[in-house]
Structure formats: C-alpha cells, structure tokens
A and B are shown apart, each in its own frame.
Chain A
Amino acid sequence: MGESVVSVRGLTKHFGDICALDSVNLEVKPGIFGFIGPNGAGKTTLLRILLGLIRPNNGSAEVLGFDTSSDSLAIRERVGVLHERPVFPGPIRVLEYVRDVVRFYGDSQSAEQLLKTVGMQDAANRRMDQLSAGMYQRIGIALAFAGNPRLIFLDEPTSNLDIESRDRMLDLIVEENKESGVSFFISSHILSELERVCHNVAFINQGRILEDGPVQELIGKYTAGRYRVRSSDANRLLNGIKGISHLDAAEIRGSTSVIISAREEHLEEVIADIRRAANSASIKVYGVEPACTLEDTFREVMRLGPAEE
C-alpha cells in the first residue's frame, strides 16, 4: 500500500441509474501505468475521483498516500493532469497562461522551459483560441509537467497529435520516468502506444476492473496459442477454414486478418491446412504470426468478460 502511487478500494460511483464504477479495487505501482477500456467504461470517472473533482458513493481512494476526499489539495499540489479535451480560457496568450499556471506551484520549471519541452516555444505569443487542436493538446501536456509532479495523469494524451509529436510525447514519458522518477497514469485507446511505454496496465469495462498486471505478463497470458493469418480476403478465408481439425477458434479481424487459436503441438498441421484451403479458394496467405499485442490482449480480456466471483 505504501509503495503505490494510486490505491483504490471498493470504489463505487453512480450517476443516477448508471453505475460508472462498481466496487473497483486497484493498486498502481510507481512507473508507467496504462488504463484501458472502451468508451464509457469508467476511466474518466475514476480519474475525476482521484483528483477530488467528484466524490464516490462508496469506497475510498488514495493518490500518493493522500485521501482523495479529504486531501485533494495536497494531491493537486503533487500531480500533473492532462484532461481529455482540455479547455483553456480563449483570449489569453499561451506564455501568459502558462506563466500564471506555473505560479500556482511552489517549485516548477519555468513557463519557457515547459513550452520548449513540448516544442511550443514558437507559439508563446499566440492566443489560446487561435491554436490548432494539436497545439492545444501540447499546451495541455506542458501544463501537466508544471510543478515538477511526482505523478502525471494523462487522459488520451496523443489524440490530435501527428505521428512525429506522438513519438516525441512517448519518448518524453519514458525519459521523465527513467530520469526523474515521475510516474504516469495514462488512459488511452491507442494500445500500441501503451504497449510501447507502459510497465503495467489495467483493463476496465462497465465500471469493473477485468484484469491488471505487467504488460508482457498479460499479453503472454491472454494471447498464447493465438495467431494472426494475414490474407487477401479475410471473409472468404474464414469460410474456407471452417471445419479444419485442431483449429480451436477463428475470428475475423478487419478485411485481411483472421485470428486463429490452436495448440502449439497442432500448429504446423493447422497452418498447412489453412494454406491448402486458401489455395483451393484462390486466396493469398501472406503470413502467419503470433497475435500477441496489447490490442489482442484487450480484445481477449473484453471477450472473456469479468471473472466469476
């Protein structure tokens, strides 16, 4: 408990009849943590509770050892936040706004340094309401680093960013964690990015934590025996391989991929049968590879749903 940067116990939150969080328990260790779930799963609700912006109906939560209900000011002094779709006052100039925000914190990098970190130094004199969506997002990221926080919450940090800015952002996260020991709590739908930077992840759906743990451990657990068959026509291939012996399951993934499940001892036999079936139906098979990404893991966890209690 003492080591966790976020500790959540039995957290429940209702909005009218809607149960946004249902007895959530979660321990987040220092490092880079990914919080994953479909839209409306409860990610932003949990973030709002952790910042003391809303109160839970039941349960409790601590951030850096401070209770979210009674010590939210102490938490906000020590964390940085990037909200999903951040909103800043429109008529203020970027540098003026960042300078004022920096003054809220006792110890912080300068406004100029923060803007430089996200490559926004050239936009310092532009008005907030004249920025593009990507620039706006980068200002939000810069502000999350104000006050030299020990923990930074990032809600969809790379939405609106181009590929180059995304790479820069992800590198910044890894670097800050490695060099300054800053922990990150990242909520995102771009799982390839989370897989790239996160040490641990948790999956949430319908207000319940389905699974959590080290990224590679979860990938190994949920994607063992699953392979991606890349072909010229996934629909026809799926129809053609039905009934192949030792093929435990097959599901279509987009227009060209089919995910199959087979035991390792039968794998070669299954692949050979798939290639034969594809040939007879004039479908090209470009390759078969382990389906072991975080995205594959997420789909499998969502498919299995919550564990029976």
Chain B
Amino acid sequence: MVQQKSRTRAFLSLEIKSFYRFPIVECFVGVFTLLAFLNVLSVGSVTDFDVESPENLAGFLQSAASALLYLSVFPFMYLLVLLVPVLVSLVIAKPFEDGTIRTILTHPIKRSFLLLTKILITVVLPGTAATVALLLAIQFGFGIQPSVSQVALLVGSIWVFILSVASVTTLLSVISKKAATSATGGVVLWYSMVLLADLYGFPETARHVINPLSAALAYVLGGDGAPLLADVLVGLLGALSMAFVFIVVSIALFERSEI
C-alpha cells in the first residue's frame, strides 16, 4: 500500500512536470476566467433596456441575468469541446508517438492505473477552471442567483460533460496512437454531435446525454420548454454511463496495446 502511494505520487509528479508545465494550466484558467468576465461585460448590450424607459429596468435585469448565465455557460461547452480533446491527445496519444509511453511502462506501473490517472488529470484541470469561471460569473452577475442545488447541478453537468468528451478522445487516442488524429477526431466528433443534438426533432433523451450541460442550463433558466429535473438527471446518468463504457473499452484496448 505504501509502495502504491509512492508510485502514485511519483507518477503524478512526472505527469504534471511533463505535460502541465507553463503555460498550459495558466492558459486554461485564464481563458475560462476571461470568458466569464467577458460575458459579465456583454450583458450591457441586451437590447430590452432603454434609459428613457426605466420601467423596463426590472425586466432588463431579469433577462440580463438569464443571458449572463447562459452566455457564461454556453461558450464553455464549445471551449471544452475544443480544449479537452486537444489536452487528452497531448497527454495520452502523444506519448505513443514520441516513445515516452514505452519508457514509463518499463517501470512498475499498471497500464490501467496509468490511463485512469491521465484521464483523471485531464478532467480535473478543465473541470476546475470551468467551475471557478462559472462561479465567478454567477457571483459577479446580477439579478438571478441560482440555488445551491442548481449551481451543483450546473457544476456537475460541466464535469460530466468534460468526462464524456475526455472518454471519447481517450478511446480515439488509444486506437490511433496519434495525437493529431485523436485531437482532430475528438473535436470534429463532439462538435458534430453537439450541433446534431441541437437540431429540431432530435430525441430529447439523446440530446441530454450528448449535452448534459445544455440540459442543466435550460433547467436552471426555466421557462417554456425547459426540461424536467428528472430528464436532466437521466441525461447526466446517460452521459456518465457512456463515459464509463468508453473508459472501460479504452483500458481493455490499452492493456492489449503493443508498445
């Protein structure tokens, strides 16, 4: 057990020094924080408000708050769809290409542990950055203050969404063993899926599974056509299950990979 802890610490240390050096982490935090503040600033352009019609102020604040929250979260999705596959490919596929995976696997490390740890870090980094940015956007916004459970739902959906995107790109990385292929494949696949899910007539449940973040957001904002909490939770569960399956398949393939 002590030995396993030592190995875990050593591997985490190597991973962070190898892949998460300046400016990767800083860029992640920076881009999400910037996004949150830009969205706070962009609220001023909401058209309902007019200084000559101060009676619309309350309506403006309400709509602006919704817009703020929407704008804060919605671009996260597209940013995550872009950044997570690139990060996963860099961390999982690239070592196959440059040979460092062979070097690390000559030391006593289980392949499943290696892959799971890499996935964990690629989820934690953007997940933390996106969560902090979301909380900042909510804090510095005005009008709407989602309840704790609503914030928890949004944060949870961000993490599940990141896990889904990471799991698919992990599978692509393990199969292709090429960083460019898996990054491009991951981005194109997720953009296509997210766009497809937005099409009219796309099955609701499938839409929530593909994009639980969007479903959670629609639920928090409420209004006509907002999904029920149960639908959102089904979407989250479905996305989690999908990620679980992709990760299990990735591990199984990685165990049999020729290094």
Contact A103 B10 (CB under 8 A): yes
Q: How far is the CA of A106 from the CA of B100 in the complex (A)?
A: 22
B residues lining the A interface (CB < 8 Å) = 3, 6-7, 9-11, 13-14, 17-18, 21, 98-100, 102-103, 105-110, 256, 258-259
Query: Which residue from chain A places its CB closest to the CB of B113 in the assembled complex?
Result: A73
Q: Which residues of A contact B100 (CB under 8 A)?
A: 87-89
**Do residues B7 and A104 form an inter-chain contact, with CB atoms below 8 A?**
yes
- Which B residues are in CB contact (< 8 Å) with A10? none
Task: Quote the shortest CB–CB distance from B180 to chain A (angstroms).
Answer: 18
Which of A51-59, A216-224, A244-252, A253-261 touches B? A51-59
Q: A45-75: contact bitstring with B at CB < 8 Å (1 yes, 0 no)?
A: 0001001011100000000000000000100
Q: Is the CB of A101 within 8 A of B102?
A: no
Pair A103/B9 contact, Cβ less than 8 Å: yes
Which residue of B98, B107, B256 contacts A55 across the interface (Cβ within 8 Å)? Answer: B256
From A92, A101, A103, name the one whose CB has the most chain B CB atoms within 10 angstroms. A103
When distances are taken between beta carbons in the complex, the residues of chain A under 8 Å from B258 are: 48, 53-55
* Residue in B21, B103, B110 whose CB lies within 8 Å of A73: B110
Question: What residues of B have a CB within 8 angstroms of the CB of A92 in the complex?
Answer: 14, 17-18
Interface residues of A (CB under 8 A from B): 48, 51, 53-55, 73, 76-77, 81, 83, 85-89, 91-92, 96-97, 100-101, 103-106, 147
A87 touches B99 (CB 8 A): yes
Inter-chain contacts of B13 with A (CB < 8 A): 100, 103
Report whether A73 and B106 are in contact in the complex, using a CB–CB cutoff of 8 Å: no
Tell whether, in the assembled complex, residue B259 and residue A103 are in contact, meaning their CB atoms are under 8 Å apart: no
Residues of A within 8 A of B14 (CB): 89, 92, 97, 100-101
Are the CB atoms of A48 and B109 closer together than 8 Å?
no
In angstroms, how far is the closest chain A Cβ from the Cβ of B210? 35
Could you tell me the distance between the alpha carbons of A96 and B106 in the complex, rounded to whole angstroms? Answer: 18
Can you list 16 residue pairs at the A/B interface with Cβ under 8 Å? Answer: A48-B259, A51-B105, A54-B259, A73-B110, A77-B108, A83-B99, A87-B100, A89-B17, A89-B100, A97-B17, A100-B11, A103-B10, A103-B13, A104-B6, A104-B109, A105-B108
B17 contacts A91, C-beta separation under 8 Å: yes
- Chain A residue nearest in CB terms to B105: A53
Distance from A81 Cβ to chain B, minimum over Cβ atoms (Å): 4
Q: Which of A54, A83, A96, A103 contacts B103 (CB 8 A)?
A: A83
Residues on B with C-beta less than 8 A from A88 are 100, 103
| CB of A213, distance to nearest CB on chain B (Å) | 29
Contact of B99 with A85 in the complex, beta carbons under 8 Å? yes
With A76-B109, A83-B103 known, 16 other A-B pairs at CB within 8 A are: A48-B258, A53-B102, A54-B258, A55-B256, A73-B110, A83-B106, A86-B103, A87-B99, A88-B103, A92-B17, A100-B10, A100-B17, A101-B10, A103-B6, A103-B10, A105-B107
Give the one of B3, B17, B106, B110 with max A CB within 10 A: B106
Q: Find out whether the CB atom of B17 lies under 8 angstroms from the CB atom of A104.
A: no
Q: Report the Cα distance A105→B17, complex, angstroms.
A: 19
Knowing A92-B14, A96-B17, A100-B13 touch, does A87 contact B98 (C-beta < 8 A)?
A: yes
B21 contacts across to A, CB distance below 8 A:
91
Inside 8 A of B6's CB, which chain A residues have their CB?
A: 103-104, 106
Tell me the minimal C-beta distance from A245 to chain B in angstroms: 57
In the assembly, what is the distance between CA of A147 and CA of B5, in Å? Answer: 16
Q: Give the chain B neighbours of A89 by CB distance below 8 A.
A: 14, 17-18, 100
How far is B6's CA from A89's CA once the two chains are assembled, in angstroms? 20
Closest to B7 in A: A104
**Measured CA separation A103–B108 after assembly (Å):** 10
B-chain residues with CB within 8 Å of residue A91 when the two chains form the complex: 17-18, 21
Write the nearest CB–CB distance from A287 to chain B, whole angstroms.
46
Residues in B with CB closer than 8 Å to A96 are 17
A89 CB → nearest B CB, Å: 4
Q: Is A73 touching B18 in the complex (CB atoms < 8 A)? A: no
How close is A75's CB to chain B, nearest CB, in angstroms?
Answer: 9
Q: Decide: B106 and A76 in contact? CB cutoff 8 A.
A: yes
Closest to A93 in B: B17
